[in-house]
Amino acid sequence: MSQTSPDVEQLLRLISRDQRLESLPRTGWQICGVDRPESIAAHIHGVTLIALWLADHQPPPGANVERVLRIALVHDLGEAMLTDLPRPVKELIGKDVVDQAEDRAADHILEALPSWRSAFQEYRQGQTLEARIVKVADRIQMLARALEYRHQKRGETSRFFDTSTSFDARGVHLAAEIFQALRRHFDDKTWFDPHFD
Amino acid sequence: MSQTSPDVEQLLRLISRDQRLESLPRTGWQICGVDRPESIAAHIHGVTLIALWLADHQPPPGANVERVLRIALVHDLGEAMLTDLPRPVKELIGKDVVDQAEDRAADHILEALPSWRSAFQEYRQGQTLEARIVKVADRIQMLARALEYRHQKRGETSRFFDTSTSFDARGVHLAAEIFQALRRHFDDKTWFDPHFD
Amino acid sequence: MSQTSPDVEQLLRLISRDQRLESLPRTGWQICGVDRPESIAAHIHGVTLIALWLADHQPPPGANVERVLRIALVHDLGEAMLTDLPRPVKELIGKDVVDQAEDRAADHILEALPSWRSAFQEYRQGQTLEARIVKVADRIQMLARALEYRHQKRGETSRFFDTSTSFDARGVHLAAEIFQALRRHFDDKTWFDPHFD
Amino acid sequence: MSQTSPDVEQLLRLISRDQRLESLPRTGWQICGVDRPESIAAHIHGVTLIALWLADHQPPPGANVERVLRIALVHDLGEAMLTDLPRPVKELIGKDVVDQAEDRAADHILEALPSWRSAFQEYRQGQTLEARIVKVADRIQMLARALEYRHQKRGETSRFFDTSTSFDARGVHLAAEIFQALRRHFDDKTWFDPHFD
Amino acid sequence: MSQTSPDVEQLLRLISRDQRLESLPRTGWQICGVDRPESIAAHIHGVTLIALWLADHQPPPGANVERVLRIALVHDLGEAMLTDLPRPVKELIGKDVVDQAEDRAADHILEALPSWRSAFQEYRQGQTLEARIVKVADRIQMLARALEYRHQKRGETSRFFDTSTSFDARGVHLAAEIFQALRRHFDDKTWFDPHFD
Amino acid sequence: MSQTSPDVEQLLRLISRDQRLESLPRTGWQICGVDRPESIAAHIHGVTLIALWLADHQPPPGANVERVLRIALVHDLGEAMLTDLPRPVKELIGKDVVDQAEDRAADHILEALPSWRSAFQEYRQGQTLEARIVKVADRIQMLARALEYRHQKRGETSRFFDTSTSFDARGVHLAAEIFQALRRHFDDKTWFDPHFD
């Protein structure tokens, strides 16, 4: 009698796939020698938080905050099937082939959620302000984590600040300044103290 | 010359506090004997995702999706200063005292972000539809994780489904049905296979 | 027929609570970035051993060695219920409130063992020579562990030797000299080699 | 000028050796498949606590409590040099040869502490009431830990309760009853709940 | 003056790539819920040992033992660049694409070692007795590890013995009998005791 | 009816013993402060690979490659019963006594495999070119791992390159040059980048 409705069944399956992101590590850190680095789930959380801050700070006419958050939440969901392949592995297989596989994974996972699926595609195309905010947030999260790991003496993450690299602000307000501030922390060998203040 | 502006400084400090949530475990699972359980950051991610799904599925006039996501993102940020105190520790200290400490922590962390701070308070009060959606999402995330850990034979988490417990749907559409579906999985000893389908 | 007597039941319950101290970490080290630091149980062992050495070395009329060891063994037993709350968490909640909670925990655990309970209270008051020996041993154990972790390049523990800090010998013979020797190891960046000599 | 005195130097060296016991695992549990089992330091703490309880409960003329605690504290210190060799390794090398090596290790570590060294020898001979109390405490600690690990579904520790084994109370008051109570827990598949009550 | 010769340089680079196989896990076990499973290096060791035993036991005219061991040693070296992609990830990307990437990786790593490179290709083609012995050894190693993990209650590995599966002996003497013996262990829920006999 | 033949039974038992080498750590690294160092199984794999390269590069009349690989595969199998005892533990017990125990272990494990057992004895005696190649490979594997761990900032492994040490090439072609190249990496503080090139 009390059967699970298709909607609810869909949610539970979505949750079960999303759960995997907690045990899947961000492999880029592992290659840098960071033992037990952040999970993909923790990464997505960080990106979403930063994206919200950026969205709140865009000058008029501003960004669609709901859309920004939706994009941030789904931007790495394909990795629940594909895992986070390290960059050298992607290059060995071919970046396009891997991107297509991730698209297929996202399509499969978000099948019955059109507004989520379109958010993923919007991120992939990277044209709208909302997608660009998430791309910038993704980069900020990564650089801040690299600074944290250096501060904790975990692994060797300085390559993320290779001097030849200039980070692309993508027209997002405050992004260039944030990247500069992160680079200053890198140059000055500083980061925030972890002592719970 | 190129000094970091107060806004950007505020963001970096916020990020550094949020980063701690990746290394802080959800202690309730540890007490159940789950070794290396999910982090607070991964928990928040899961709650945010579920909250988005619930918000999308509320019948007219619907929920304010942006507000739901904002509440979900901040609802446990106070733990960046307080850590996730296990329930028995809270009871020993006094639940009210701990709640007040968490309020102070959230106030401190979100000081210059009024719309974030009000979202935290809205969650604490738990009256609006948006706050109730996040509270229900928080519970769903926990029950689904308990099912996952049981499926993985990690720890002893069945107490979360104690038969005397009835989960409060808080007037959120589909919540009661979702709780029933989760309990069915508990009773049938089933959960989704982790094999990346 | 063969029922467990109240005495034996009391012992088994005491053991089961004490067992938790092996899985509970000393959180101060975690905040310093030490992964998998010593347990509370290992800390208590170290304190007891050092306290015995100090008690053996007090000039006439000497210390009551049995009492010293009894105090050392129970001085952190309350943490079997309260866990080892990091200093910033204690400050956020209020140090007095936390102390009272720990007193309640110790009272509960040591309920039927009056001489153990009075040993806990003696430690809390910190007046007798025996209590002061254990307080000094507690500090020595912590500083020596900080030196060990620095030698192993685990975390950042130098704050324990902040130059502004002067360690209180509390009238315990040799304590001042031991603190000086530890500080010399800190200044000279030395500690003993772990190679099992 | 301010040189470290021989006494203090001796203490620091003793501490540095004792510190190793926190990173050295009790290997018997590892062979049973328990991942990251208790350290030798945590084991010694447990034995000392149980030995104190037993000493407190001996009928007149009673035990020398200070001596009991001294013996408990040193009974495994030789393992700071020898490590905790698993039983099959001891048998392969020859139990006598290993015992002699442990004696040499203890002699070396406790060289300048005659009352500690004699306590180690007293334990080895196992004749006095004080030594027998520690031997019984050592066994109780191990059986209680086996019950805890079974309760936590870690490894396969039932061999410690092999029905053919009868535990030797060694004339220690209450020991036989305690062993029976532990066996009842084994037979009934019970142990205390870890939920911090 | 004393420059490293190209040969020696080649060896050191080969070693440095091979070293990675010690930190790279066999991901199939992780998907089954085995925490910290064997490394690729340990897997290769097991396969090589089993392959030697099989080679020694082939009836006249026998196998070329040196060739068998050479093939076993290189059969997974490509994973030093590609990592061990879980089966579902391979299927999502396309098994042929992944195989080609692994071929490119092996070619790159074994560039200047023609007899090693041809051994890899011989394994890929799987026609010669020597290659078939290694393929059978690879399967035996995996099934024996699945039995070990089940015995240790780590993860859920029974799918490797799915009743519909019949293991291909590939014309290798004793292989069919070995597969049967492994299945009997699976059916009888037995495996060898880990107690170092 | 379908009983396991003695041969196959022997193989399964051999595999089960060899499996332990995956969970047994190389303890020398642990004493140097390397957390979770390589297993014995991974060590044997590295030695076998290096030994194959050396065997391939010996000038005429060359080495018996099959014999080299057989020796490499069995040279540490005794540790499946004895574990990898740290050097100070060996010295405390007596190196000869430990060697004899390892011989007994190897004899027991390889009982019914005469050509494997004679390979173990050949290694112990260390006279033949084939045995000397494996001894040199064993040393090269260890030094290269020490360089890798230093590069990863894991533990303190420089003692392996103590300037007073001269590595014995044992008449193996290229060995002296390889040792020099490794020492140059040590002096120059270099090693290969782990980024999967």
Domain ranges in chain C are 6-188
Only one residue has tokens 């994206």, namely A51
Closest residue to F31, CB basis, from C35, C36, C194:
C194
- Evaluated on CA atoms A58, A60, A66, A68, the torsion sign reads negative
Residues of B in contact with D196 (CB under 8 A): 31, 86, 88-89
Q: What confidence tier does B1 reach under pLDDT thresholds 50, 70, 90?
A: very low
Q: What is the mean pLDDT of chain E?
A: 94
The Cα F144–Cα F142 span in angstroms is 6
| Class of residue E189 by CB neighbours under 10 A (exposed 0-12, middle 13-18, buried 19+) | exposed
pTM of the predicted model, to two decimals?
A: 0.94
Among candidates A67, A59, A49, A50, which has minimal Cα distance to A127?
A: A67
Calpha distance D25→B38 (Å, rounded): 26
Estimate the crossing angle of helix C65-74 against helix C40-56, to 10 degrees: 160
Nearest CB to B33; choose among D194, D196, D197: D194
Distance CA B56, CA B173 (A): 11
Contact indicator for E139, E125 with CB cutoff of 8 Å? no
pLDDT score of D166 more than 90: no
- pLDDT at residue B196 in the model: 60
What pLDDT, on a 0 to 100 scale, did the predictor assign at position B45? 98
Mean confidence (pLDDT) of chain A: 94
Give the mean pLDDT of B154-182.
Answer: 90
Classify residue B90 by burial, with Cβ atoms within 10 Å: 0-12, 13-18, 19+: middle
Q: What's chain D's average pLDDT?
A: 94
Rg of the Cα trace of chain E?
Answer: 18
* Predicted local confidence at residue D163, as pLDDT: 66
Q: What is the mean pLDDT of residues D186-195?
A: 88
Task: Determine the pLDDT at residue F196.
Answer: 60
Which residues are bridge partners to F25 per DSSP?
A: F39
Asked if residues B87 and B160 have their Cβ atoms less than 8 Å apart, the reply is no
| Higher-pLDDT residue of D59, D32 | D59
The DSSP call for residue E4 is P
E129 beta partners: none
b/e per residue C94-111 (b: at least 16 CB within 10 A) = eeeebeebbeebbeebbe
Quick one: closest CA in D to C75, which residue? Answer: D49
Residue from the list F86, F88, F105 with its beta carbon closest to the beta carbon of D92: F105
CATH number of B6-188: 1.10.3210.10
Interface of A with B in 158-177 (CB under 8 A): 174, 177
Would you call A197 and C156 a contact, using CB atoms and an 8 Å cutoff? no
Query: Residue C163's pLDDT band (boundaries 50, 70, 90)?
Result: low
What does the pLDDT read at residue E1? 45
CA angle, corner E57, sides to E54 and E63, nearest 5? Answer: 75
Chain C residues within 8 A of B88 when measuring between CB atoms: 81
Tens-digit pLDDT profile for residues A7-50: 999 999 999 999 999 999 999 999 888 989 999 999 999 999 99
Flag whether pLDDT at A1 surpasses 50. Answer: no
Per-residue pLDDT at C196:
60
pLDDT at D99 over 60: yes
- Using the predicted structure, report yes or no on whether residue C1 has a pLDDT greater than 60: no
Bridge partners of residue E39, in order along the sequence: E25
| CA-based nearest distance F2→chain E, Å | 9
Does the pLDDT of residue E184 top 80, yes or no? yes
By the 8 A CB rule, do B94 and C97 touch? yes
CB E195 to CB D31 under 8 A?
A: yes
* Pairwise CB contact (< 8 Å): D53 & C11: yes
Q: What are the pLDDT digits (tens) for D120-140?
A: 999 999 999 999 999 999 999
Tell me which residues of chain F, numbers 91 to 120, contact chain E at a CB-CB cutoff of 8 Å. Answer: 113, 115
In angstroms, the CA A85 to CA A40 distance is 11
* pLDDT value of position F139: 97
* Adjacent-strand bridge partners of A39: A25
- Is pLDDT of A187 > 80? yes
Size of interface C-F (CB pairs under 8 A): 17
| Residues whose CB falls within 8 Å of the CB of residue D57, separated by 6 or more in sequence, listed in order | C7, D173, D174
Lowest mean pLDDT segment, chosen from A182-196, D152-166, E95-109, E139-153? D152-166
Nearest to E19 by CA among B8, F143, A55: F143
Cross-strand bridge partners of residue C25: C39
Q: Give the Å distances, CA to CA, from D170 to D49, D53, D134, D140, D189.
A: 19, 16, 10, 13, 27
Residue E104: pLDDT above 70? yes
**What ipTM was assigned to the predicted interfaces of this complex?**
0.97
In this predicted structure, what is the pLDDT of residue B24? Answer: 94
CA distances from E79 to A33, E72, E82, E135 (A): 18, 14, 4, 16
| Cβ D50 vs Cβ C16: under 8 Å | no
**Residues sharing a CB contact under 8 Å with residue A131, sequence separation 6 or more, in sequence order:** A71, A122, A123, A125
Token couple for F168: 């014995």
What is the pLDDT averaged over residues A51-55? Answer: 98
Q: Which residue has the tokens 């695992």?
A: D25
Tokens in use for F90? 């060996």
pLDDT tens for chain F, residues 1 to 197: 467 899 999 999 999 999 999 999 999 999 888 989 999 999 999 999 999 999 999 999 999 999 999 999 999 999 999 999 999 999 999 999 999 999 999 999 999 999 999 999 999 999 999 999 999 999 999 999 999 999 988 888 988 888 667 799 999 999 999 999 999 999 999 999 876 66
D90 contact E CB<8A? no
Which pLDDT does position D54 carry in this prediction?
98
Identify from A29, A30, A31, A150 which residue to disrupt to test chain F contact, counting F C-beta atoms within 10 A and taking the largest count. A31
Residues 18-77 of C with CB under 8 A from D: 18-22, 38-39, 41-42, 44-46, 48-50, 52-53, 56-57, 65-66, 69-70, 73
> Per the structure block, which two tokens stand in for A68?
């920004």
* Cβ contact A31–F153 (<8 Å): no
Distance CA F8, CA E193 (A): 17
Q: Residue E72 is inside which H or E element, if any? A: helix E65-74
Q: By the 8 A CB rule, do A11 and F174 touch?
A: no
Contact D155, D33 (CB under 8 A): yes
Residues 6+ apart with CB under 8 A from B61: none
Residue D94 is classified by DSSP as -
Distance CA A133, CA A66 (A): 12
Q: Do E31 and B197 touch (CB under 8 A)?
A: no
Q: Is the pLDDT of residue A3 over 90?
A: no
Q: Give the pLDDT band (50/70/90) at residue D156.
A: confident
Joined together, the tokens standing for residue A65 give 């905050």
Please state whether the peptide bond connecting residue C61 to the residue before it is cis, i.e. omega within 30 degrees of 0.
yes
Confidence of residue D21 (pLDDT cuts 50, 70, 90): very high
User: Which tokens go with E173?
Assistant: 């003497």
Are B55 and B65 spatial neighbours (Cβ–Cβ below 8 Å)?
yes
What pLDDT score does E4 carry? 86
> Does residue E74 or residue B152 have the better pLDDT?
E74
CA angle centred on C21, ends C20 and C24, rounded to 5°? 90
Q: Which two tokens stand for residue C93?
A: 């909640």
